[in-house]
Amino acid sequence: MEESLSDNNLNNNIIGILNSSAPDEVQQYIQGLELTEETILRYELAYCPANSLLEKCLHENIIFPIRSVIGDLDGYIGRNLHWVKGGNMMKYTDRLNPKSHAVFGLFQAGEHIKKANNCYIVEGIADVLYLAEKGILNVISCNGSSFTSGQIAMIRLFCHHVTLLYDGDNIGQKSAQRQSDSFLEGGFDVSCITIPEDKSPYAFFKGKSLEEIKAFLAVSAKEPTHEETIPSFPEELMCDDAPF
DSSP assignment of the chain, as one string?
A: -PPPS-HHHHHHS-EETTSTTS-HHHHHHHHHHT--HHHHHHTT-EEE-TT-SS-GGGTTEEEEEEE-TTS-EEEEEEEESS-EETTEE--EEEEE-TT----BTHHHHHHHHHHHT-EEEES-HHHHHHHHHHT--SEEE-TTSPPPHHHHHHHHTT-SEEEE---SSHHHHHHHHHHHHHHHHTT-EEEE-PPGGG--HHHHHTT--HHHHHHHHHHHSPPPPTTSPPPPPPGGGGSTT---
Mean pLDDT value of segment 125-141 = 96
Among 140, 121, 157, 152, which residue's Cα sits nearest to residue 230? 157
Give the pLDDT score at 52.
Answer: 84
Map out the domains of the chain with their CATH numbers: 7-96 (3.90.980.10), 106-220 (3.40.1360.10)
Alpha-carbon dihedral sign for residues 158, 36, 144, 96: negative
> Can you give the pTM of this predicted structure?
0.83
Give the pLDDT score at 225.
Answer: 40
pLDDT top residue among 153 and 236: 153
Give the pLDDT score at 85.
Answer: 44
pLDDT top residue among 41 and 52: 41
pLDDT top residue among 68 and 108: 108
State how far the Cα of 166 lies from the Cα of 86, in Å rounded to an integer: 21
